[in-house]
């Protein structure tokens, strides 16, 4: 089966600034995928090449096996993009803008009507349907961007920093909606520099740094690759016979507190608990401390993700 998105050897320079230095990645159909990287890493350039807004210098970009330049009509129809920047159509009511957008994809007003109504309803825009974009709050503008991206029911949804600058409540609401769309079968490509967002939503993540993919995998595999999860257990009932039983683990023990350093806390914790329970220890508390994608990013680049890439 063809990947939903396949990028190979992709390079792009803007007047001598190398924004992409040979990117390879593949996104399976139905996957929820994140491009995670600091500002300036090249994420927007990559999605703009996919959607035909930016012209690449080298490499290939395919959508469901079709080249995004040769077969652009097909590939563009597969994708809906909720961009960071707002369009400049400030003068029309937002409902009208949705009809215009449907028109770009050859959908008549009559056929678009149920979809426009459904999206406005689902995204809480119905009351604002007569408003102009400039009259909308920041949160409402985000909702509108999403409705616009989804109007032609694309197979692939691209979300460029979809929750940058939105309040916590709307962020959670949007996350719920993204999960719902993913469950419904959409392939979702999200760019973000919010680690939490990639960790919570996505099945696979590419960490992008200075125009290159420096690591790819599931958030769990990436965080486990650091092997730094910790488990701290407070308990009573230590006895000498525990020592040989725990000898396979890396741990420290002092007065009713055990601290383990493990590769995979989900797998190891039940084993440790079983050993302690088998020796009639009474467990008072358990705390696990898995390393995060932030740690992964830091260990790979020596920088925090919120530090801007400087060229």
For ligand ADP, the closer CB: 211 or 265: 211
Least distance to ligand ADP, CB of residue 61, Å: 14
If one asks whether residue 37 binds ligand ADP (CB under 6 A), the answer comes out as yes
Q: Which stretch binds ligand ADP (CB under 6 A): 39-47, 62-70, 109-117, 231-239?
A: 39-47
Count of residues engaged in binding ligand ADP, rule: CB under 6 A: 12
Out of 4, 10, 25, 41, point to the residue binding ligand ADP (CB under 6 A). Answer: 41
- What is the rounded distance in angstroms from the CA atom of residue 129 to the CA atom of residue 113? 13
If one asks whether residue 13 binds ligand ADP (CB under 6 A), the answer comes out as no
Residue 43 to residues 34, 177, 270: CA-CA distances in angstroms? 10, 22, 40
Across the beta sheet with 66-67, what order do the strands follow? 17-27, 5-14, 58-63, 66-67
Binding mask 112-131 for ligand ADP (x = CB under 6 A): --------------------
Identify the three-state secondary structure at position 182: helix
If one asks whether residue 145 binds ligand ADP (CB under 6 A), the answer comes out as no
Out of 32, 40, 68, 162, point to the residue binding ligand ADP (CB under 6 A). Answer: 40
Least distance to ligand ADP, CB of residue 39, Å: 4
For ligand ADP, the closer CB: 41 or 166: 41
Q: Answer yes or no: are the C-beta atoms of 195 and 36 closer than 8 Å.
A: yes
Residues within window 219-278 making contact with ligand ADP, judged by CB under 6 A: none
If one asks whether residue 162 binds ligand ADP (CB under 6 A), the answer comes out as no
Least distance to ligand ADP, CB of residue 38, Å: 7
Which of 272, 254, 260, 273 has its CA nearest to residue 232?
260
Across the beta sheet with 282-289, what order do the strands follow? 250-254, 257-262, 229-236, 282-289
The string of DSSP letters for 236-283 reads: E---TTHHHHTTTSEEEEETTEEEEEES-HHHHHHHHHHHHHHTT-EE
If one asks whether residue 44 binds ligand ADP (CB under 6 A), the answer comes out as yes
For ligand ADP, the closer CB: 42 or 162: 42
Tokens 């190979």 -> residue: 8
If one asks whether residue 39 binds ligand ADP (CB under 6 A), the answer comes out as yes
If one asks whether residue 42 binds ligand ADP (CB under 6 A), the answer comes out as yes
For ligand ADP, the closer CB: 12 or 148: 12
Q: Beta strands 257-262 and 229-236: pairing type?
A: antiparallel
Identify the three-state secondary structure at position 215: strand
Least distance to ligand ADP, CB of residue 309, Å: 6
Output b/e per residue, 245-261; b: 16+ Cβ within 10 A. Answer: ebeeeeeeeeeeebebb
Residues within window 291-310 making contact with ligand ADP, judged by CB under 6 A: none
Residue 265 to residues 123, 195, 230, 288: CA-CA distances in angstroms? 38, 20, 7, 7
If one asks whether residue 43 binds ligand ADP (CB under 6 A), the answer comes out as yes
Classify burial at 217, counting beta carbons within 10 Å of its beta carbon; exposed 0-12, middle 13-18, buried 19 or more. Answer: middle
Q: Which stretch binds ligand ADP (CB under 6 A): 35-43, 57-65, 238-246, 263-271?
A: 35-43
Q: Residues interacting with ligand ADP, by CB under 6 A?
A: 14, 17, 19, 37, 39-45, 311
């Amino acid at each position: 089966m063809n990947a939903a998105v396949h990028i190979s050897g992709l390079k792009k320079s803007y007047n001598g600034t190398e924004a992409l230095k040979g990117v390879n990645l593949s996104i399976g159909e139905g996957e929820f995928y994140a491009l995670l990287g600091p500002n300036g890493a090249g994420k927007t350039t990559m999605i703009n090449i996919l959607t035909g807004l930016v012209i690449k210098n080298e490499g290939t970009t395919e959508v469901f096996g079709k080249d995004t330049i040769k077969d652009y009509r097909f590939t563009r129809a597969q994708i809906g993009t909720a961009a960071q920047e707002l369009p400049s159509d400030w003068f029309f009511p937002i409902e009208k803008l949705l009809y215009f957008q449907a028109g770009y994809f050859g959908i008549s007003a009559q056929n678009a009507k149920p979809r426009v109504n459904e999206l406005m309803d689902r995204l809480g825009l119905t009351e604002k349907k007569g408003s102009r974009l400039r009259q909308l709050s920041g949160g409402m503008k985000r909702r509108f961007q999403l409705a616009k991206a989804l109007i032609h029911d694309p197979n692939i949804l691209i979300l460029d920093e979809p929750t940058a600058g939105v309040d916590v409540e709307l962020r959670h609401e949007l996350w719920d909606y993204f999960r719902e769309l993913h469950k419904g079968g959409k392939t979702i490509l999200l760019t973000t520099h919010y680690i939490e967002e990639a960790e919570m939503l996505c099945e696979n993540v590419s960490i992008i740094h200075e125009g290159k993919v420096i690591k790819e995998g599931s958030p769990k595999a990436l965080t486990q690759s650091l092997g730094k999860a910790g488990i701290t257990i407070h308990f009573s009932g230590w006895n000498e016979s525990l020592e040989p039983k725990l000898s396979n683990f890396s741990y420290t023990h002092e007065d009713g507190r055990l601290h383990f350093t493990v590769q995979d806390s989900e797998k190891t914790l039940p084993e440790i608990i079983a050993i302690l329970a088998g020796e009639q220890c009474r467990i008072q508390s358990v705390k696990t401390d898995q390393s995060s994608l932030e740690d992964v990013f830091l260990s790979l680049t020596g920088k925090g993700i919120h530090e801007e890439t400087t060229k």
